[in-house]
Structure 1
Amino acid sequence: AIANTRAYILGDGDQVQPEGVAGELCVAGRGLARGYLNREDETAKRFVADPFVPGERMYRTGDLVRWTAEHGIEYIGRIDQQVKVRGYRIELSEIEVRLAQLSAVQDAAVAAVKDNAGNTALCAYVTPEDADTESLKSALKDTLPDYMIPAYWVTMDELPVTANGKVDRKALPQPDIEAQSAAYKAPATEMEELLAAIWQDVLGIPDIGISDNFFTLGGDSIKGIQMASRLNQHGLKLEMKDLFQHPTIEELVSYVERTEGKEADQGPVEGEAMLTPIQRWFFDRKFTNQHHWNQTVMLHA
């Protein structure tokens, strides 16, 4: 920040973010404007009380940044370019930067779209028009986790831009969801048939093929746990990390393990149950009305 101004990088609850962690850039000090002309709602939203200097205000820029000891404040993108996919918060600009670093890409943009199941998915827009999207997707997997790999791709001669030269996101075309959906590949083995049946039950979608992506079809971590529970009923075990790394049946089938003979005895258990340390502490205190004991916890949304 320049003289007589302050810069904060804040996360949820206006907490200062540690080094390397992204947050919103907020500025305060003598250089602050009074607000937006004739835009009271926007002024109230952006010009707020400074949580660190009583009686003063700060301005929420809407810019996503992080502090690094080497480069100072590093710009990442806009807060409004943050989307949630599969339960993960994703910065679209982070994927765009990775795409721009690939030699085959001249320009790139990433947007959130709705798939056939109504779920949020990522779509990448790249130039030139003859770009090999499968190669680009494979290259991204070297630096990004699976949930940040775009499910849909659109190649273009050039990206639409606004009058000031920025990507016109409203003018980006919708991807052809049907055409880019994986061609149906029927299960060929007993294990593939079982997995396909379980996926259809959990996801509520008929005719799931072995090349269909669990997450693109609307799956998430909760539905993944439901799938693993159903497998367990068949004497099979699946680690959640394997589902995230191999989200198609043809990739996942080799990671399913049989658990016959490993189940614990489910009959009645008899004998003395030792107190846990916290239980021993409780009884050692000899409270007057032990049955009135209660414990509370506060959760912040």
Structure 2
Amino acid sequence: PLPPGVPGELCIAGPALACGYVGDPQATAERFVFSEWLGERVYRTGDRARLRGDGELELLGRLDGQLKLRGYRIEPGEVEAVLVSHPAVSAAVVGLSGEGAGARLAAWVVLREAVAIEALREWLAARLPGYMVPGAWQVLERLPRTPNGKLDRGALPAPAAVVPAGRGPATALEGLVCELFAGVLGLASVPADGDFFALGGHSLLAVQLVSRLRDALEVELPLRAVFESPTPAGLAAVLAAQGQAAVPAERLLPRHGDQEAPASLMQQRLWFLDQLEPGSAVYNLAVALRLSGEPDVAALQAAVDGLVARQAVLGSRIVARDGEPWQLPCGRPVRLEERLVTADGLEAALSGYASAPFDLAAGPLLRVGLFRGAGSPVLAVVVHHIVADGWSLGILLAELGALYGAALRGEPAELAPLPVSYADYARWQRDWLAGERLAAQLDYWRSQLAGAP
């Protein structure tokens, strides 16, 4: 074993360890090996990791260069080999661009002759699964190299999402769907026959697309429609075919001033898990930002106050009423916590701050800390998953930045008023999933799970 802080290969052992790969004795012999230190078989995961000083395990990527994207394991060398087999490509590098839900498979290519990127995409699509076809591309004159001749991945420029040429919208409805596609995908425009998933879309973005279609057209569109008809023209045809048969979307209306509400269904699930394992930090969402310059503490506190006033759910608590979870205002402000740390102790301090559990019944479910003494100050934001998710965390940080800038200038932030609150949404969801809808869902899942242990 390696001492804390030293990177190495992550190995797994224990009674639940598999016997090996079915029908592949060579891979089994390579990955399932005997550990003299443990005195038992271990599985070599191929993941690079290290044990931190606080006892937490930190994953650092793959030892073999393998990529992981939305549940798929991708060998970049396999994609690169197919790319350089194209007559026009002399060199290629494949990797990931972006982070989190916005991550995409990207390709950097050096061409020996002119060729359209869409032609390269089609070349790959005919030879590889769809998830191995890059959604972002960059043409280079040459690949960047280090002084000793190795590929310098850090010098690769940010690639651009490729929008294939295609026809324009033929109807106003197609035009609207094209605009919604472009907004969700972060593109300037999308052709009417552009494939949502080929342009970088995935299941999480598909949910956003359905939500925006609901808001724009006030109709319910099932998520599967995006997968079955993944182009603006195809979805527009589905919407047009529904016509009068379309199910109107029940409007989500604000109830101003009433912030006591039953928990949403997602909140109820997380509250139930917290009851099973109180004091767990497994659902904490955390981000740390290295700041340039010394922040104005008063303006930063004003920004935090403004954020909680705007997104009231961040200042809520989750309590039980007659055995059911409700979200109520916490009644206590979110105070900016200032901490002095050393350079050697910064990582452990941030880790401890991020992993400290929340008391759902006490609240608030957001904390913000300012860590000084280790070079540039670090701002840490931690929130419980019961009031935020990975996507909304980006919104939270953007609004906090806007509010901080406005506080520095002594003027109101230029943020559009929110038409509804999360409490409004929770009440709407509970009202919507009731009666016949709820009974149909329960009947379906009872039949699906019949006979399960």
Q: TM-score, normalised by structure 2?
A: 0.37
Aligned partner (choices 112, 134, 137) of residue 121 of structure 2: 137
Displacement of 1:82 in angstroms is 1.0
d(CA) in 2 for partners of 1:163, 1:199: 43
Letter in 2 for 1:220: H
Compared CA separation, residues 18 and 106, structure 1 to 2 (3 A): farther
Residue 189 of structure 1 is matched in structure 2 by 171
Aligned partner (choices 80, 87, 95) of residue 103 of structure 1: 87
Displacement of 1:183 in angstroms is 9.0
d(CA) in 1 for partners of 2:188, 2:32: 54
Displacement of 1:28 in angstroms is 4.3
d(CA) in 2 for partners of 1:134, 1:97: 18
Residue 227 of structure 2 is matched in structure 1 by 241
Cα contact 1:108–1:125 (8 A) shared by 2? yes
Residue 127 of structure 1 is matched in structure 2 by 110
**Residue-by-residue CA offset, 1:233-261 (whole Å, 9 max, x unaligned):** 64767634335xx4x42565456662357
Compared CA separation, residues 198 and 106, structure 1 to 2 (3 A): closer
d(CA) in 2 for partners of 1:280, 1:100: 52
Aligned partner (choices 146, 158, 169) of residue 174 of structure 1: 158
**Residue-by-residue CA offset, 1:108-151 (whole Å, 9 max, x unaligned):** 11121129x98112221222353413321121110223332222
- Residue 174 of structure 1 aligns to a residue whose secondary structure is coil
Cα contact 1:140–1:149 (8 A) shared by 2? yes
Compared CA separation, residues 14 and 254, structure 1 to 2 (3 A): farther
**Residue-by-residue CA offset, 1:202-248 (whole Å, 9 max, x unaligned):** x39697544676458774214424645756964767634335xx4x4
Residue 68 of structure 2 is matched in structure 1 by 83
d(CA) in 1 for partners of 2:103, 2:166: 22
Compared CA separation, residues 152 and 59, structure 1 to 2 (3 A): same
Displacement of 1:92 in angstroms is 2.0
- Aligned pairs for 1:143-292 within 5 A: 143-161=127-145, 166-175=150-159, 177=160, 187-196=169-178, 198-199=180-181, 203=184, 209-210=190-191, 214-215=196-197, 219-225=201-207, 227-228=209-210, 230=213, 234=219, 239-243=225-229, 246=230, 248-250=231-233, 253=236, 258-260=241-243
Q: TM-score, normalised by structure 1?
A: 0.51
Displacement of 1:181 in angstroms is 5.9
Q: How many residues align?
A: 228
Superposed CA RMSD: 5.4
Displacement of 1:99 in angstroms is 1.1
The answer for unaligned runs of 5 or more in structure 1 is: 1-8, 30-48, 64-76, 282-294
Letter in 2 for 1:258: A
d(CA) in 1 for partners of 2:246, 2:208: 19
Is 1:18 the counterpart of 2:2 in the alignment? no
Cα contact 2:185–2:199 (8 A) shared by 1? no
Compared CA separation, residues 241 and 24, structure 1 to 2 (3 A): farther
d(CA) in 2 for partners of 1:184, 1:228: 23
Cα contact 1:235–1:258 (8 A) shared by 2? no
Cα contact 2:76–2:94 (8 A) shared by 1? yes
- Residue 89 of structure 2 aligns to a residue whose secondary structure is coil
Compared CA separation, residues 23 and 214, structure 1 to 2 (3 A): farther
- Residue 239 of structure 1 aligns to a residue whose secondary structure is helix
Bigger shift: 228-237 or 161-170? 228-237
- Residue 258 of structure 1 aligns to a residue whose secondary structure is helix
d(CA) in 1 for partners of 2:450, 2:137: 60
Residue 93 of structure 1 is matched in structure 2 by 77
Cα contact 2:135–2:199 (8 A) shared by 1? no
d(CA) in 2 for partners of 1:226, 1:94: 32
- Residue 31 of structure 2 aligns to a residue whose secondary structure is strand
Letter in 2 for 1:189: T
Compared CA separation, residues 227 and 56, structure 1 to 2 (3 A): closer
Cα contact 1:185–1:209 (8 A) shared by 2? no
Identity %: 29
Cα contact 1:99–1:108 (8 A) shared by 2? yes
Cα contact 1:186–1:210 (8 A) shared by 2? yes
- Residue 159 of structure 1 aligns to a residue whose secondary structure is coil
The structure with the largest helix share of the pair is 2
d(CA) in 1 for partners of 2:436, 2:40: 66
Compared CA separation, residues 162 and 255, structure 1 to 2 (3 A): farther
**Quick one: higher RCO (CA 8 Å, sep 6+), 1 or 2?**
2
